[in-house]
Structure 1
Amino acid sequence: MGKNMLRTILFMLLVIKSLVAGDDLIVKISNGKVKGELMTTPNNKTFYAFRGIPYAKPPLGELRFQPPQKPDNWEGVLDSDAKDRMCIQLTSNLQPNESEDCLYIHVYTPQIPKEGRNVSLPVMYVIHGGGFETGSPSEIGPQYLMDYDMVIVYVGYRLCFLGFLSTEDLNCPGNNGLKDQQLGLKWVQRNIQSFGGDPKRVTIYGESAGAASVSFHLLAPNSKNLFIGAIQDSGSSLANWAIQTKPTKIAYDFANRINSTINENNTSTLELLKFFRTLDVQQIKKTSVELFKEGFIESYNKLILGFGFSGAVEPEHDNAFLAKSPYQSFLSGDFYKVPTLIGVNSEESLFLAVDPNLEKRMMYFDNNTEWYLSRNIDVGNLTTRKLVGKKIRDIYDPSAPLHQNEALSIKYFSDTSFIRPTLKQAQLQSYHTDVYFYELAYYGDIAIAPIPDVPGAGKVSHAQDLMYLFARFGVTNVTSEGDKTTMKRMLTMWTNFVKYQNPTPKPLQLLQNTTWSKIESLGMMPYLLINDTLKVEHNYKKKMMDEYQQIFDYYAQPPLTTY
């Protein structure tokens, strides 16, 4: 065969391939046609990406502080300009691609259904974290997950002031960011078949505030039947930071900082909303930062008191997302009972080791022991509150104040902010449905940021687990063999759960033939310890949990909201 003939054949093959790819990259959904793009995994597997699909009308003007509305239809083929759009963040300055118009969904799929080619893959619906204040779907790429034959969906949702303002009445009952996520789940039910996904096999996933969001969806009546499984990494609706305290007061304080004449006596909540709708985004960002500060370490105090903007218990009404307190609902079994994979990292609050004010702040707790109390433990008398606070502190060291021990200070915050509420949710759920609990203790080379070792504390800080499941900020270069093995193990177990609602449905050499046991008895509660090896252990943090439970049972006052 001559060279010219060979070139001609190769050229024709490329043309045919491009035409086929071009056809595959256009998908018709309920609102119109959308255009996708080709992407590849680190293992050179090709997949389709459809980013920036509107799942709701832009929440602007009169729709600001309203529940999301279904989007309008469009003509032609949508080639979105919102592929990297992020919702307004709790940061001082407006960042590139940051916008109030941010209710977009992103779909990644290995196959597109065509005539004569039926595709029906399990779906993983990803809710990003960031304390309900920051974050976006673009920060956690799907590249690793796309090697496992699933459809991955990411949802953008309103954050902080714009997503979680609540006036505790029907003018703005709150939870609009969570209602955004819920409308996204309904969008998946209507449209995911067009991308090769099975609407009957949707599992919702979240880390940190995303995990708390997943927990809220288990409690939300209107989210029922939109998914069949849940994954929660390092977060729960039972955490103090996940539920607002005094949201109406926050709303008036916010307004008063901008206009000092506004207060609860002269301005109704309806008038308050009208005022808030006149504010530009930069004013909202500026006031939010003045009230709540910005940055991960600045979230430290909020972990105890509650974030300024997060979930809220709404007044009873037909469209309420959350009308009952979380702890009481899990305690009574009043939640959507689906299999759940849930767990924590070995030292969630290890990031506090780089906080130069940790000892000083811990000393404040030691001198004012009432600060050790969670919101449910409200015993009124300050003397009694201080006494109960000391009981909680004594769980960690009955002989000395915690500020003298960095490791115990960090352990207290790890337990209080993440581990205790997450573990308690797992325990309460396990009475009613399959629950698989884990602790990630493997510390590798792909840590998000270098955090110094603290003798006596665990090594794996908050959000480190993301590095083994997602391409964080587009980074896909993993060189350590230990990291590669841990990544393959976690990806296999997490995607197994999406496919089968069981992380270890059959023995695998990669998983050391480990069977991850579900929780069947709290007396010998099993959990998977993920380290250099995989091992089923029992009774995670039992001493801490038992001692705290005794205090909680005696002093906690209903309604029981957090733990």
Structure 2
Amino acid sequence: MKMIHLVLVGFCLSSAAAAKLGVVRTEGGLVEGLSVGTGLFRTVEEFKGIPFADVPRKWEKPEPHPGWDGVLTATEYRDRCLQVTLLQTKTLGSEDCLYLNIFVPHGKSVSSGLPVMVYLFGGAFLLGASNDVEVLGESLYDGKELADTGGVIVVTVNYRVGTLGFLSSGDERLPGNYGLWDQHAAISWVRRNIRAFGGHPDNITIFGQSAGAASVSFQMLSPYSRGLFRRAITQCGVALSPWALQKNPMATLTKIARKVSCYQTEEDAMLACLKTADPVKLTMAGKINTLNLFGKGPVLDLLELAPVIDGDFLPDHPSKLFHHAAQFDYLAGVNSMDGHIFAGIDVPSINSMKEATTAEQVRGLLAGLTKEKGDAAVSSAFNVYTVHWGLAPDPDIVKKTVADIETDFLFLVPTQIALQLHANNTSGARTYSYLFNMKTRIPGFPRWVEAEHAEDLQYLFGKPFSMPLVYFPRHRDLSGYMIAYWTNFAKTGDPSRGDNRVPVSWPPFSKYHQPYLIINNSMTKSSVSYDLRSFYVNYWTQTYSQLPAAGRIEEKESL
């Protein structure tokens, strides 16, 4: 007992003795965070709620923060940006929301020159925050474990979402992309100020998941990012994903205008009305209509608010902007069942123990996803995805096919195209591809379900270490592997090379050679594979893309 007491006292003393920055001078003023002991002579200093821009004006780019007097106590997360709740029933958050959080690891001496990793959260461009999803009192994006284990500074940032972040008229009157400008302002602030926190301004990696990953992709492709950061990681989303760009911004704007009683038929008058509308009502007007969620076309069609090609931040279609990304080292991948959650809404029978999924349901899903190409696309895609079924397919194989279709269409194929475009354009920067396929931890799903959308995040942010009672040793193994690969990449541009040991060497993806790493808890040399789902990637990128648009087919037939 006495020995345990001595160890605990020693631990407390060692944590207290560990180095800390204390009061830090930023461009806006002085800030002071909180030092948290993480081990023997190890602490993470947390600075929460530092403003990186002023309170944003409605549908305007962020402006520099005016600064403050005295020392800002940066120990609490600030409000998320005004948004709908997950159940879409009300709003939460504030317009005063452009804040970031910094996690700095220290040993016996104060850190300096550390690599920096800036995280952009996901949430369909509709919701989310830098401190999102509290689990047992801890934010999912708490950067402490990643910073401490990986030896990097972690920064998490807020940005505007929903109507206030992405409403657009599709032209210069209301250009949109305000959330992307917020992200850009945050990354720029980090570059200007991070040296004072012990970070290296020339070694910044931006990373994100889902809409946050697409955001990272857009930041890479924007001409405004030249020289701003060095590396980028996209997890389960890219700018080429079919949900990542608004298809008809003026139609979406008109729909939202009607919901806030802006009934003007003349566009300029309608826009003037919108600018005077209540922000909370505007935010609610941008919610997804949950009544349309089940059985009325794919979920994809309901995700209307997103970035736009504005001729400024995004001067052209993302596929034509990869020359801007050539300067950045790039690591990208998907989860093996990224599309399962969406497939379960579009075809609910796939998660039912009693109900079979029919070939007609598979055709119906494909019709919804490929409507721009018409009936010919449905038949051709159906033939590709059922070629392995046989005459009497196992019911589980049919159900898994539905999840595979949505994973490929929404996530995997666009990511493979982005990787290829990056590799084709790069001159010296490196490209890496992965597939995360750890079995799901979500109870109640069928046994064939592997890695669900967003399941990678708990491992990357070290939850198996910070909440050990709800995880097994295999989860800690996986978490250690992911943190090592991600932070090695942030340090050196090579996920296999750095301070953190990895189980398998990860070969780079190139113009003519497409290896990818399969990431789970039992990694061996066979975890390196090649040409990820190339049969399906080739179908979507070659056969499908060359099919004529539905309107052109009808035109031809009427002639």
* TM-score, normalised via structure 1 length: 0.82
Give deviations 1:206-244, integer Å, cap 9, x for gaps.
Answer: 111111011111110001211111111111111010000
1:95 to 1:369, Cα distance in 2 relative to 1, 3 A: closer
Q: How does 1:251-330 map to 2 (within 5 A)?
A: 251-259=253-261, 261-263=263-265, 266-268=266-268, 271-289=269-287, 292-293=288-289, 304-305=300-301, 307-314=303-310, 316=311, 320-330=312-322
Q: 1:441 aligns with which of 437, 440, 449?
A: 437
Give deviations 1:237-276, integer Å, cap 9, x for gaps.
Answer: 110100001111111111112326333xx231xx434322
Matched, 1:425 2:414: no
1:474 to 1:492, Cα distance in 2 relative to 1, 3 A: closer
Q: 2:72 aligns with which of 75, 78, 81?
A: 78
Q: 1:396 aligns with which of 375, 385, 391?
A: 385
Q: 2:518 aligns with which of 520, 529, 532?
A: 529
Deviation (angstroms), 1:192: 0.5
Query: In structure 1, what residue type is equivalent to 2:457?
Result: L
- Secondary structure of 2:422's partner? helix
- Secondary structure of 1:241's partner? coil
Aligned equivalents of 2:285, 2:345: Cα separation in 1? 25
- Whether contact under 8 Å (1:347, 1:460) holds in the other structure is yes
- Whether contact under 8 Å (1:204, 1:231) holds in the other structure is yes
Q: 1:346 aligns with which of 333, 336, 339?
A: 336
Aligned equivalents of 2:446, 2:392: Cα separation in 1? 21
Aligned to 2:101: 106
- Whether contact under 8 Å (1:35, 1:50) holds in the other structure is yes
Deviation (angstroms), 1:301: 5.6
- Secondary structure of 1:47's partner? strand
Q: How does 1:489-504 map to 2 (within 5 A)?
A: 489-504=481-496
Query: In structure 1, what residue type is equivalent to 2:422?
Result: Q
Deviation (angstroms), 1:397: 1.2
Matched, 1:39 2:29: no
Aligned to 1:468: 459
1:479 to 1:554, Cα distance in 2 relative to 1, 3 A: closer
- Secondary structure of 1:505's partner? coil
Deviation (angstroms), 1:451: 4.7
- Secondary structure of 1:236's partner? coil
Aligned residues: 509
Question: Which stretch of structure 1 is more off in the superposition, 527-536 or 186-195?
Answer: 527-536
Deviation (angstroms), 1:362: 8.8
- Whether contact under 8 Å (1:372, 1:390) holds in the other structure is no
Aligned equivalents of 1:295, 1:337: Cα separation in 2? 45
Question: Which stretch of structure 1 is more off in the superposition, 339-348 or 470-479?
Answer: 470-479
- Whether contact under 8 Å (2:50, 2:100) holds in the other structure is yes
Aligned equivalents of 1:105, 1:503: Cα separation in 2? 26
Q: 1:138 aligns with which of 121, 131, 138?
A: 131
Matched, 1:56 2:58: no
Aligned equivalents of 1:227, 1:401: Cα separation in 2? 53
- Secondary structure of 1:248's partner? helix
Deviation (angstroms), 1:82: 6.2
Aligned to 1:511: 502
Deviation (angstroms), 1:498: 0.5
Aligned equivalents of 1:214, 1:166: Cα separation in 2? 20
Aligned to 1:560: none
**Relative contact order: is structure 1 or structure 2 higher (C-alpha 8 Å, sep ≥ 6)?**
1
Aligned equivalents of 1:296, 1:124: Cα separation in 2? 38
Question: Which stretch of structure 1 is more off in the superposition, 188-197 or 34-43?
Answer: 34-43
Query: In structure 2, what residue type is equivalent to 1:159?
Result: V
- Secondary structure of 1:240's partner? coil
Aligned to 1:215: 217
Give deviations 1:379-435, integer Å, cap 9, x for gaps.
Answer: 5xxxxx211232122220158999972111111011111111111111221122421
1:55 to 1:301, Cα distance in 2 relative to 1, 3 A: farther
Aligned equivalents of 2:115, 2:131: Cα separation in 1? 22
1:242 to 1:555, Cα distance in 2 relative to 1, 3 A: same
Deviation (angstroms), 1:358: 2.6
Give deviations 1:486-535, integer Å, cap 9, x for gaps.
Answer: 11111101100000110002798x533x221001354x521111232242
- Secondary structure of 1:425's partner? helix
Aligned to 2:530: 538
Aligned equivalents of 1:50, 1:42: Cα separation in 2? 19
Q: How does 1:153-192 map to 2 (within 5 A)?
A: 153-192=155-194
Aligned equivalents of 2:243, 2:187: Cα separation in 1? 24
Aligned equivalents of 2:295, 2:464: Cα separation in 1? 22
Matched, 1:450 2:451: no
- Whether contact under 8 Å (2:91, 2:280) holds in the other structure is no
Question: Which stretch of structure 1 is more off in the superposition, 340-349 or 395-404?
Answer: 395-404
1:237 to 1:403, Cα distance in 2 relative to 1, 3 A: farther
Matched, 1:90 2:87: no
- Secondary structure of 2:46's partner? strand
Aligned equivalents of 2:45, 2:489: Cα separation in 1? 23
1:361 to 1:208, Cα distance in 2 relative to 1, 3 A: farther
- Whether contact under 8 Å (1:241, 1:302) holds in the other structure is no
Aligned to 2:510: 520
1:75 to 1:273, Cα distance in 2 relative to 1, 3 A: farther
1:88 to 1:482, Cα distance in 2 relative to 1, 3 A: same
Aligned to 1:67: 61
Aligned to 2:353: none
Aligned equivalents of 1:401, 1:101: Cα separation in 2? 58
Aligned equivalents of 1:240, 1:198: Cα separation in 2? 35
Aligned equivalents of 2:422, 2:271: Cα separation in 1? 38
Which residues of structure 2 form unaligned runs of 5+? 1-8, 133-140, 350-356, 550-559
* TM-score, normalised via structure 2 length: 0.82
- Whether contact under 8 Å (2:78, 2:97) holds in the other structure is no
1:113 to 1:44, Cα distance in 2 relative to 1, 3 A: closer
Aligned equivalents of 2:75, 2:483: Cα separation in 1? 31
1:322 to 1:506, Cα distance in 2 relative to 1, 3 A: closer
Q: 1:246 aligns with which of 241, 245, 248?
A: 248
Question: Which stretch of structure 1 is more off in the superposition, 392-401 or 145-154?
Answer: 392-401
1:262 to 1:530, Cα distance in 2 relative to 1, 3 A: same
Deviation (angstroms), 1:281: 3.5
1:80 to 1:300, Cα distance in 2 relative to 1, 3 A: farther
Query: In structure 1, what residue type is equivalent to 2:438?
Result: Y
Aligned to 2:6: none
1:118 to 1:371, Cα distance in 2 relative to 1, 3 A: closer
Give deviations 1:8-56, integer Å, cap 9, x for gaps.
Answer: xx9xx98x969x98x8432111111112112244889411111111111
Deviation (angstroms), 1:142: 0.9
Deviation (angstroms), 1:282: 3.1
Aligned equivalents of 1:305, 1:224: Cα separation in 2? 33
